[in-house]
């Protein structure tokens, strides 16, 4: 065995803290090689001394400092997530405006139809429901033309479908101006606010639910509240 | 760590509690500055949070954690703070107050010898000596093959021995002269 090979094995046995495969060959070599015996002794001494080198303790406030950093990091992540939500809601808002416009057209069409058949309109006993659409009042960066086009097309198709099926009574978008409350404000989770409504007609509550569940507002993260109109 | 990766971020505090002393020891041994090590530990665990998705769980968590810590230290050094990740010899007298003081002349020489190793050699010795990593685990930390890790470990040990002998020799030469100067 050469000195180089013997020293590799010696290093392995020290660093790996275990027996090496050619231990007996190494022993034979060491028995006749004073230089390698000295090498082994020096390496073992250094390895042992390395373990005795002191290491200062971590700062006593390390945990408190990390907790604070973690809170900051999570708050930043939350803000990022929040801005994503705002962006999504903005897309929705754009779509809602279009859908409301479709609804307005439907209402006008219904009025014209009512004028032609006033008796039929006044005797319409179909149950009506209100779909209340909630979104955010936040404002943010502009929409990409592609996103806007896709959202508008989706809402428009939904509004046209309701109108064609004779389910749409009217629809309006509320202004973005701040609400005025009387008798105390109502708190809505997540900073959401009522953005508009659809007044629909449906055979029963099940059909109204079906219409509500198909509203694109849900797909894009908005909320829809369904309320039956109490006939008086 | 799997819980943290899967979204239970609150448990990162537990991981910090459990492992930050080990990471501090690693960062200290690589930089030889306790204050810098304190900052690097914080950076390491924040990086664990940011890159938690990259933890695959096919190796020990500590190996992955040491890899993150090593990269943080290396980046810290690359940003120009060479004085905190010394490639050249630095004397214990010039060190910061929170540096651990060697308890003997032999330890002082060894500390000096360690600072003369290059960063990767020092890392190999630190990981094997203080953190009990095997060659294949060192390879994961340093992003090399186990064979390369083994070769680097051998060279690191040989170089450390050579530097130590040189420092020891120089110290022996200086002693008689110091005695003569005092006369």
**Residues A88-97: pLDDT tens digits?**
555 566 566 6
* 3-state secondary structure labels for all residues of chain A: CCHHHHHHHHHHHHHCCCCCCCHHHHHHHHHHCHHHHHHHHHHHHHHHHHHHCCCCCCCCCHHHHHHHHHHHHHHHHHHHHHHHHHHHHHHHHHHHHHHHHHHHHHHHHHHHHHHHCHHHHHCCCCEEEEEEEEEECCCCCCCCHHHHHHHHHHHHHHHHHHHHCCCEEEEEECCCCCCCCCCCCCCCHHHEEEEEEEEEEECCHHHHHHHHHCCHHHHCCCEEEEEECCCC
Give residue B183's pLDDT: 55
Which residues have CB under 8 Å from B182's CB, separation 6+? none
Residue A53 sits at the chain B interface (C-beta within 8 Å): yes
Low-confidence winner among A119-128, A197-206, B51-60, B123-132 (lowest mean pLDDT):
A119-128
- Predicted local distance difference test score (pLDDT) of residue A145: 65
For residue A202, name the pLDDT band (cuts at 50, 70, 90).
very high
- Interchain pair A70, B13: CB under 8 A: yes
**H-helix segments, B79-118:** 105-116
Dist CA A197 CA A209 (whole Å): 15
> What percentage of chain A has pLDDT greater than the value 90?
13
For chain A, give the number of residues.
Answer: 232
- Written in H, E and C, the secondary structure of A12-37 is HHHHCCCCCCCHHHHHHHHHHCHHHH
**Cα A13 from Cα A17, distance rounded (Å):** 5
- Range(s) for CATH 3.30.70.1060 in chain A? 81-228
Chain A residue at shortest CA distance from B17? A63
Q: Which residue of chain A comes nearest to B35, CA vs CA?
A: A59
Reported confidence tier of residue A201, pLDDT bands at 50, 70, 90? very high
- How many angstroms separate the CA of residue B146 from the nearest CA in chain A? 13
Cα A189 to the chain's mean position, in Å? 17
Express each pLDDT in A16-72 by its tens digit: 766 677 878 888 888 888 999 999 998 988 898 888 888 888 888 888 888 888 888
CA distance A114 to B47: 66
pLDDT for the residue numbered A232: 74
**Beta strands A127-136; A223-228: pairing state:** antiparallel
The per-residue pLDDT for range A173-190, each reduced to its tens digit, is 777 677 788 877 776 655
Asked if the model's pLDDT at residue A160 lies above 60, the reply is yes
Q: Distance (Å) from the C-alpha of residue B15 to the closest C-alpha of chain A? A: 11
Q: What is the mean pLDDT of residues A217-229?
A: 85
pLDDT score for A196: 83
At B9, which CATH number?
Answer: 1.10.1740.10
**In this complex, which of A49, A51, A62 lies closest to B38 when CB atoms are compared?**
A62
Are B154 and B107 in contact by the 8 Å Cβ rule? The answer is no
- Do A15 and B153 form a contact (C-beta atoms < 8 A)? yes
The confidence score (pLDDT) of residue A122 equals 45
CB contact under 8 A, A53 and B107: yes
Domain count, chain B: 1
In this prediction, residue B133 carries a pLDDT of 92
> What are A134's strand-pairing partners?
A194, A223
Q: What is the pLDDT of residue B93?
A: 38
pLDDT in tens, chain B (183 residues): 767 776 667 778 888 888 999 999 999 998 888 888 998 999 898 888 877 777 777 778 889 899 999 988 888 877 765 544 444 444 433 344 445 555 678 888 888 899 899 888 999 999 999 998 999 899 999 989 999 999 999 999 999 999 999 988 888 777 666 555 555
- pTM of structure: 0.57
The answer to whether the CB of B150 falls within 8 A of the CB of B124 is: no
Cβ B154–A11 below 8 Å, yes or no?
A: yes
pLDDT band at A205 (very low <50, low <70, confident <90, very high): very high
The CATH number assigned to the domain with range A81-228 reads 3.30.70.1060
* Integer Cα distance of B42 and A66 in angstroms: 6
CA atoms within 13 A on the CB side of B92: 18
Reported ipTM: 0.77
A76 Cβ under 8 Å from any chain B Cβ: no
Mean pLDDT of chain A: 76
pLDDT of amino acid A93: 62
CB contacts, 8 Å: B110 with chain A: 46, 49-50, 53
For residue B155, what are the domain limits?
Answer: 2-182
């Amino acid at each position: 065995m050469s000195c180089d090979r013997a020293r590799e094995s010696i290093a392995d046995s020290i660093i790996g803290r275990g027996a090496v495969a050619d231990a007996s060959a190494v022993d034979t070599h060491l028995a006749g090689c004073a230089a390698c015996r000295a090498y082994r002794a020096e390496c073992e001494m250094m390895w042992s001394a390395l373990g005795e080198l002191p290491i200062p303790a971590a700062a006593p406030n390390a945990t408190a400092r990390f907790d604070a950093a973690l809170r900051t990091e999570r708050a930043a992540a939350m803000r990022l997530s929040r801005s994503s939500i705002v962006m999504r809601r903005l897309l929705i808002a754009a779509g809602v405006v279009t859908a409301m416009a479709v609804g307005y057209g439907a209402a006008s069409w219904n009025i014209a139809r009512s004028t032609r058949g006033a008796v039929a309109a006044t005797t319409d006993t179909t149950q009506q429901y209100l779909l209340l659409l909630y979104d955010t009042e936040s404002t943010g960066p502009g929409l990409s033309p592609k996103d806007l086009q896709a959202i508008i097309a989706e809402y428009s198709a939904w509004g046209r479908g309701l109108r064609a099926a004779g389910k749409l009574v009217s629809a309006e978008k509320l202004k973005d101006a701040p609400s005025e409350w009387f008798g105390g404000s109502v708190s809505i989770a997540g900073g959401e606010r009522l953005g508009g409504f659809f007044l629909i007609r449906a055979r029963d509550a099940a059909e109204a639910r079906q219409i509500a569940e198909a509203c694109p507002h849900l797909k894009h993260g908005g909320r829809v509240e369904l309320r039956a109109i109490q006939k008086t | 760590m799997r819980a943290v990766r899967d979204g239970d971020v609150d448990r990162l505090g537990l991981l910090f509690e459990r492992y930050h002393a080990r990471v501090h020891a690693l960062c200290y041994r690589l930089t030889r500055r306790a204050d810098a090590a304190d900052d690097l530990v914080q950076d390491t665990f924040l990086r664990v949070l940011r890159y938690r998705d990259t933890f695959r769980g096919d190796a020990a968590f500590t190996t992955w954690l040491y890899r993150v810590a090593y990269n943080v230290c290396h980046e810290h050094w690359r940003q120009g703070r060479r004085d905190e990740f010394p490639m050249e010899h630095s004397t214990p007298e010039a060190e910061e107050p929170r540096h651990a003081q060697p308890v003997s002349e032999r330890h002082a020489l060894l500390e000096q010898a360690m600072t003369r190793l290059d960063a990767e050699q020092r890392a190999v010795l630190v990981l094997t000596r203080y953190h009990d990593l095997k060659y294949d685990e060192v390879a994961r930390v340093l992003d090399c093959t186990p064979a390369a890790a083994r070769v680097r470990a051998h060279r690191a040990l040989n170089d450390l021995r050579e530097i130590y002998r040189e420092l020891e020799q120089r110290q022996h030469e200086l002693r008689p002269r110091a005695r003569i100067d005092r006369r």
